[in-house]
Amino acid sequence: MATDDQTKPYRGLCYVGLSFALWMLFEYLTVWRSKLGEWVSLMPYVLIQYVVIILIFWYFAFRRKWSDKKLFFLMLGVMYFSEFLWGTPFLLNPITFIPGSLLLASIWGCLTLLPLWIIRGEVRRRKLQVFLCVLWMPVGFVVAIIIG
């Protein structure tokens, strides 16, 4: 039977793979679905960004063994840096900044913390946090129907 130390590299690799799959899926659904040609034209840079972000969280979660609270605050910092870099419109508007921040925190939590909880087998124990992380999905669905 493998000890916990022997499964850690495997867990880290699973985290990277699961996170990457979620990044590709969620980015397509939330941002690039209507701009597929632009996404493909930016693909080398976008893929590098996804991998770098995933490796940042992998490093602090699996190498530095940061708590979920520290990872959450790191996630917020990386999220704001990345979203401002891309010029996310609802973060640049003072009226939509707070609702946009909550929506982005839910999406980013789903991308960074949810895979970690899945790999650790903590999804059942973290029902409220998981709910908050996936809350963006019905909101996004309603917004997509309204906007068209």
Q: What is the pLDDT of residues 48-65, one digit of tens each?
A: 999 999 999 999 999 999
The tokens of 121 are what?
């087998």
pLDDT band at 105 (very low <50, low <70, confident <90, very high): very high
* Count of CB atoms situated within 10 Å of the CB of 77: 11
* Count of CB atoms situated within 10 Å of the CB of 62: 18
Residue ranges covered by each domain of the chain: 4-147
Verdict on whether the full-model pTM lies above 0.85: no
Q: Which of 26-30, 53-57, 65-69, 139-143 comes out lowest in average pLDDT?
A: 139-143
Predicted local confidence at residue 1, as pLDDT = 42
pLDDT band at 19 (very low <50, low <70, confident <90, very high): very high
